[in-house]
Structure 1
Amino acid sequence: MLAFVGESGSGKTTTAQAIIGLLADNARRDAGRIVLNGEVISDWSDKRLNRLRGVSISLVPARIPVIRSTR
């Protein structure tokens, strides 16, 4: 398991999205590669990555808690 921890806006979600191949259309990876179990997956197609998503790699987004006042 790998977890990213950091300040709000520090790029945790963007990094995780890059790893699992779910970057926004206007984003891109400029350098580097993503390796999973010794295999470079950063250039895989969406179809091939879909076989890994939810099985070997996942993203669990944080939810902002809603606090209801009882007053």
Structure 2
Amino acid sequence: MIRKAEFTSVWDDGKTKVTTSCEVDLKTREIVAIEKKEADVKKLDYQYITIDGKAYPAINLNDTDDFDEKTEFWFE
């Protein structure tokens, strides 16, 4: 089941948040179709998605081998 969600990345010690639209496959927990947005940022702090007002960690599988399929969502 594909759902619309928001994808947020937090940068530069929390000074900048960039939020865009995305879609999430609830069965596989994959984040797809992340809207791109330009921002003048330097250091990524963390990322998360929001579905129905609830936030979940968003993990880039290219950056880690540690993924909790019960609490996190992922993208490549």
TM score, norm. by length of structure 1: 0.26
Larger % of strand: which? 2
Structure whose CA Rg is larger: 1
TM score, norm. by length of structure 2: 0.25
Larger % of helix: which? 1
